[in-house]
Structure 1
Amino acid sequence: MENRFNLIDEPWIPVVDHGRVSLRLIFSNPEYRSLGGNPVQKIALLKLLLAIAQAASTPEDEVEWRALGVQRLAERCLAYLDEWHERFYLYGEKPFLQMPKVADLIEKRTELKVNSATSGAKKKEAELNGEPKSLGAGFYPDLPSSNNTVLSHTLVERNLSDADKAIFVVSIMNFAFGGKRVEGDMDSLHGKLMGNRYSAPAGPSMGGWTGYLHSFLLTGSILSDIWINTLTESDVRKAAVWPQGIGKPIWEELPSSEGCEIANQYKSSYMATLVAMSRFSLLAGNGIYYMDGLNYPSTKNGWFESGLILDRSGSDIKTKYVDPEKRPWRELEGLLSFIDGNKTQGFDCLALRIGIERGREHFLQFAVWAGGLKVSVNSGDQSVKQSDDFVESIVWLHGAALGKPWIDQLKREMSDLESLSNILWSKVFSYFKSLKADNGKKKENTHAGKAASQAKHLFWQLCEREFQNLVDHCDQTDEAGVQRRKLRQRFADYIQQAYDKFCPRETARQLDAWAKCRPNNSKYLNQEV
């Protein structure tokens, strides 16, 4: 096959304010601020860039990491890309992150099915099943089902460009949805029998349930983002979860099957958390051959990625999941709980813990980014339905201000806002109950409960626009105290706005209920801040 569309030279990576750029340009231009695409694509692309950086120059410890610096790391990455240029073709004899052998397996299955067909219809069905599967819109890291519901123009099937196909292939390595849309009714490359309803596990970055939340430290420069998130050999040894250490990237030596020695060693390396290869695929025409790939242990078994947010305080390791109803910025104080020195409670994220220490030393400002995709699960099949959605939040921090007083103040402010939102819920609920709007048994399923939940959601949406301002004024100066009091007045106004939005006062009965149930924010406003 002809080698073409080399990812080092061709523009395919979305970059804010610059459009599509190549890998070579990413490592050559410090002015690129941030990656584009949806949150899953951003995570997958950042992981790929980190894998290249780790392969090009993994420092031994923090001293070596500091000496490496952004510019030297970029230069070594460029040298690495030149050395491995032949392995970055999207199409060819060794297509990037793809397994040409899967086409032979599917061809063999198709031939057997066609030869054993008892009718023309069965023969035609076997031939169609042997064709490459559609990539759909390429928006999600998954193939469309035969009865896929189109909710917006972003889900309409289309012929993807080579650049979009490259992003799709990179995304499915870590974030492939679990389910039955992989090839089945055949033996795998390792000889495992896969029935015609074979269900593949989800990619490790997605997780087998509703979708993991990921978090990384960002700096406002893609090159600096790569540098600050690059782990050292010492970091990997201390984590004690990847027996093979950093490892080498999968494109340097592809496994022959999902159970070969190369695959087993790769799954035990840190590199596998960056580019997982959870699907064996091959682009063909406008479609893709799509099979189950490398399977990974769950976080309960101790395997994890540096960007995952884990709670180890109990007997079982818990992982933070994506929740569109509670956007990540609302849990910032939990993500940063390690700042106050308490290591036994709250969530911990290896990427944040290492990154923030570095950020304090080398940057005046840096940001905590968190994001992911919420999915639904039905009999092992993951899909995007109803309220499922992408989420992401970015909050900028001043390194000099971070410390126990700052995090304690942030915790207090967020706790008070949470109390305020709960009061709003109860007041809206009481308003409708006083009007005898319904008599449902479960509060959340009644009209009153739904209206109360919507009001609460609106309140948090309004608060989000001021959250960065709150974070900037959680230090203990007099000026910060003045600003926090102004913000409290604004948040109290948002409570009234949300209440008025969902509790009309057009009739005498409504006006009486509105006045009786109206939230009183005096306690919140009169507290010392």
Structure 2
Amino acid sequence: MDNRFNLIDEPWIPVADFGRVSLKEVFSRPELRALGGNPVQKIALTKLLLAIAQAAATPKDDEHWLQMGWQGMADKCLSYLHQWHDSFYLYGEKPFLQMPEITRAKIRSFGVFSPEVATGNTTVLIESQTEKPLPPEEIAVLLVCQMGFSLGGKKSDNSIIMTEGYRLKLNQKGNPAVGVPGIFIGKRSLGKGKQAGGLLHSFWVGRHIAETLWVNLLSIEDIDSLPNISSIGSPPWECMPKGEDCEISKREKFSYLSHLVPVNKFCFIAEKGIHITDGIVYPDFSIGRIDPMNSVNITREKNTALWVNPQKRPWRELTSILQFVQGDSISGFETVLINKGLRRLKRFGSRFALWSGGVMVTTHTTGEQYAAGLDDYLQSELWLNIDELGTNLLSVLKSEIFELGNIQYQLSKSVERYFHAAGDPKPKDARKITKAKEAKATSENMFWQLCERQAQTLIDACDNSEEGRQQRLQLRKVFASYAYEVFDRTCPNHSARQMDAWAQSRPHFSNYLKAE
């Protein structure tokens, strides 16, 4: 196959308020503010770009990082891309992040790899769910996402085994097993046999894409200090593995670059889809191999991580993500890129954003992963004054979010009381009970969505100044008004009975609105 569509030269990376750009443009145009696409694409592309930066310009230590600056890093990345130009063709003799040897694997249509696209017998609710032919630029983004964000299940043809004697792609009966979820998604138990996937990812954001990469760049000194990391390693486009457990796979399984661009799937792009089978199986955070973008709490009993939760937006997790800043405990969540980056950013005393996001998917007992129910993409971008970021700001913010939780609890109880008073008092009426539960869940979700509008304002007001205290008091009035608005929209007061129930059940927030 002829070499074509080189990712260094062709526009394929989505950029907010701009369109698509090439890899070369990312490192040569500082006017490119931020990546576009959905949260999964942003994470996967940020990791890819960061892997290029680490391969090209890993500094020795903080001083070397500071002297290099984002411009120095960008120049080294451009030289690196020129050197490895032939390794970035999407199609050709050596296709980017692909293994032509797996053409015996079944071809899966491109749509089955996107949770928001309806395929097979899935009901199509809106036009955007319809599967459509993909141009090369969208296929390139999809390919990058499959390296770490692949969904578990039957999409992978695990009858294809590249390493002789390898057994992890077979079930107990010796038949091909279902595919494992990507290391960026993972899976967790929700109790009662239910499972979900969707690790929360976080990183610093600067004024433009190149500065964002520079801020999140780790030094050799940083990498050497990380647990269960053997070396910085080599990116897969320099040397693709030959099999699931070949010498390259064994060597790179614990490298730092494998955290940024893992090879969870062996892929090869066909005309109308992708040949795909499980690739390297990486250990996860539960045994200490911790992704630098994940927030993990390491304990003797069990390592735990922060997960994407559509009912708890990322901005409400800020105090957990930054828990290490308080420094009052040896335990708690830590995010490597946030921790290492903050140490350097304090030198500038300027304003940077903390981005958090990901996707939540349902995991069936069979291992199949898909979007269902409340599953969704989530993301937040919160700007912080680095020189003011400390114990006091986080403790005040934690207190305010705790009080918001109390407001939401009072709102839920009020909605519950309303439906008990306004509906049929017979407790065995299942339809009435279901309606009350649905209204309660809707009110909670609606309240937090309204509060999210003020998330940045709340963070900016969490300081010791009198001005900050007055801002928080004003915000409490806004949050209380949101709760009243949600109650009024959820609990109608048209009939006499409804009016009586509404008056008896409407919440009161006098204590919350008192001066601190």
Instruction: Report the TM range for the smaller structure's normalisation.
Output: over 0.9
Structure 1: gaps of 5 or more residues: 107-129
Residues 1:134 and 2:113 aligned together: no
Aligned amino acid, residue 503 of structure 1: C
Matched-pair contact (CA < 8 Å) for 2:115–2:370:
no
- The separation in 1 between residues aligned to 2:338 and 2:432, in whole angstroms, is 36
Residues 1:516 and 2:495 aligned together: no
- The separation in 2 between residues aligned to 1:253 and 1:92, in whole angstroms, is 16
Residues 1:74 and 2:74 aligned together: yes
Q: Superposed, which structure 2 residues align to 1:277-292 within 5 Å?
A: 277-292=263-278
Matched-pair contact (CA < 8 Å) for 1:435–1:510:
yes
1:145 to partner: Cα distance: 5.6
1:439 to partner: Cα distance: 2.4
Residues 1:381 and 2:368 aligned together: yes
1:233 to partner: Cα distance: 1.2
Q: Secondary structure at the match of 2:437?
A: helix
Q: Superposed, which structure 2 residues align to 1:50-449 within 5 Å?
A: 50-103=50-103, 105-106=104-105, 132-136=107-111, 139-140=114-115, 146-192=120-166, 194=170, 197-209=176-188, 210-243=197-230, 245-313=231-299, 315-362=301-348, 364-378=350-364, 379-437=366-424, 439=427, 446-449=434-437
Q: Superposed, which structure 2 residues align to 1:485-500 within 5 Å?
A: 485-500=473-488
Matched-pair contact (CA < 8 Å) for 2:33–2:208:
yes
1:134 to partner: Cα distance: 1.2
Matched-pair contact (CA < 8 Å) for 2:111–2:119:
no
1:305 to partner: Cα distance: 0.6
Matched-pair contact (CA < 8 Å) for 1:134–1:144:
no
Aligned amino acid, residue 417 of structure 1: L
Matched-pair contact (CA < 8 Å) for 2:308–2:378:
yes
With over 3 angstroms needed to count, the CA separation of the structure-2 counterparts of 1:445 and 1:175, relative to structure 1, is farther
**Runs in 1 of length 4+ with deviation above 6 angstroms?**
441-445
- The separation in 1 between residues aligned to 2:314 and 2:11, in whole angstroms, is 31
Aligned amino acid, residue 165 of structure 1: I
Matched-pair contact (CA < 8 Å) for 2:243–2:249:
yes
1:325 to partner: Cα distance: 1.1
With over 3 angstroms needed to count, the CA separation of the structure-2 counterparts of 1:9 and 1:376, relative to structure 1, is same
1:148 to partner: Cα distance: 3.7
1:345 to partner: Cα distance: 4.2
The answer for the alignment partner of 1:119 in structure 2 is none
With over 3 angstroms needed to count, the CA separation of the structure-2 counterparts of 1:6 and 1:465, relative to structure 1, is same
Matched-pair contact (CA < 8 Å) for 1:135–1:144:
no
1:44 to partner: Cα distance: 0.3
With over 3 angstroms needed to count, the CA separation of the structure-2 counterparts of 1:430 and 1:167, relative to structure 1, is same
- The separation in 2 between residues aligned to 1:223 and 1:58, in whole angstroms, is 14
Percent identity between the two aligned chains: 41
Q: Secondary structure at the match of 1:307?
A: coil
Q: Secondary structure at the match of 1:291?
A: strand
- The separation in 2 between residues aligned to 1:295 and 1:19, in whole angstroms, is 35
With over 3 angstroms needed to count, the CA separation of the structure-2 counterparts of 1:177 and 1:422, relative to structure 1, is same
Aligned amino acid, residue 215 of structure 1: S
The answer for the alignment partner of 2:3 in structure 1 is 3
- The separation in 2 between residues aligned to 1:56 and 1:447, in whole angstroms, is 58
With over 3 angstroms needed to count, the CA separation of the structure-2 counterparts of 1:249 and 1:435, relative to structure 1, is same
Q: Secondary structure at the match of 1:41?
A: helix
- The separation in 1 between residues aligned to 2:438 and 2:166, in whole angstroms, is 49
Aligned amino acid, residue 297 of structure 2: D
Aligned amino acid, residue 67 of structure 2: A
Output the TM-score relative to the length of structure 1: 0.91
1:196 to partner: Cα distance: 6.0
More divergent stretch after superposition (77-86 vs 189-198): 189-198
More divergent stretch after superposition (205-214 vs 90-99): 205-214
Output the TM-score relative to the length of structure 2: 0.93
Aligned amino acid, residue 485 of structure 1: L
Q: Which string of whole-angstrom CA distances, capped at 9 and with x for unpartnered residues, describes residues 425-456 of structure 1?
A: 11111111123446269999632222122112
- The separation in 1 between residues aligned to 2:431 and 2:256, in whole angstroms, is 47
Matched-pair contact (CA < 8 Å) for 2:296–2:335:
yes
Structure 2: gaps of 5 or more residues: 189-196
Matched-pair contact (CA < 8 Å) for 1:218–1:368:
yes
More divergent stretch after superposition (305-314 vs 430-439): 430-439
Q: Secondary structure at the match of 1:362?
A: coil
- The separation in 2 between residues aligned to 1:310 and 1:511, in whole angstroms, is 49
Aligned amino acid, residue 512 of structure 1: D
Matched-pair contact (CA < 8 Å) for 1:335–1:348:
yes
Q: Secondary structure at the match of 1:239?
A: coil
Q: Secondary structure at the match of 1:524?
A: helix
1:396 to partner: Cα distance: 0.7
Residues 1:26 and 2:26 aligned together: yes
The answer for the alignment partner of 2:193 in structure 1 is none
With over 3 angstroms needed to count, the CA separation of the structure-2 counterparts of 1:157 and 1:272, relative to structure 1, is same
